[in-house]
Amino acid sequence: MTTKYEVGSVHTGKVTGIQPYGAFVALDEETQGLVHISEITHGFVKDVNEHLKLNDEVQVKVLSIDENTGKISLSIRATQEAPVEEKKEAPRKPKKRQATVKTETETPQGFNTLKDKLEEWIEQSKREEVNK
């Protein structure tokens, strides 16, 4: 059965069944394979019925053949040229404004700056070392 078909070969087949996950395509009277929903066309396919109907003749490429089970994976998408994607201009980002940093010469009342606190801790540490 599978000696007639090789991976990579392209054949014309007829859609014999449609399922939510893909379509069955008969390659001849005795052989059929599955076109998974992701292999139907380029882009996203939500419903197989929007792209294929029973008895449609389609070009398919053999993706793989499982010699143990005889299952054949097919692709319609692989026989079609990929659509050219339009280059979209990236949205312009607004220019970042420089943050203005205000340095106050006087410390606000009730708060110590880290610089003042650090100096206090160093002094405290020195006193503790002397007292040891």
CA geometry: angle 20, 26, 30, nearest 5 deg:
130
Q: Which CATH class is domain 2-79?
A: mainly beta
Q: What is the pLDDT of residue 4?
A: 81
Instruction: Give DSSP secondary structure letters for the chain.
Output: -GGG--TT-EEEEEEEEEETTEEEEESSSS-EEEEEGGGSSSS--S-GGGT--TT-EEEEEEEEE-TTT--EEEESGGGSPPPPPPPPPPPPPPPPPPPPPP--SSPPTT---HHHHHHHHHHHHHHHHHH-
Q: What is the pLDDT of residue 109?
A: 63
Q: What is the pLDDT of residue 114?
A: 82
79 close to 61: Cβ distance less than 8 angstroms: yes
Encode the chain (132 residues) as per-residue pLDDT tens digits: 446 889 999 999 999 999 999 999 999 998 999 999 999 998 898 999 999 999 999 999 999 999 888 899 999 999 988 887 766 666 677 777 776 666 655 555 666 678 888 888 888 888 887 776
Contacts by residues 77-81 (CB-CB < 8 Å, ≥ 24 positions apart):
77/38, 77/39, 77/40, 77/41, 77/42, 78/39, 79/10, 80/41, 80/42
DSSP bridge pairs for 13:
58
0.85 cut: is pTM over it?
no
Domain map (residue ranges) of the chain: 2-79
Q: What is the pLDDT of residue 2?
A: 47
Distance CA(5)–CA(43), nearest Å, equals 27
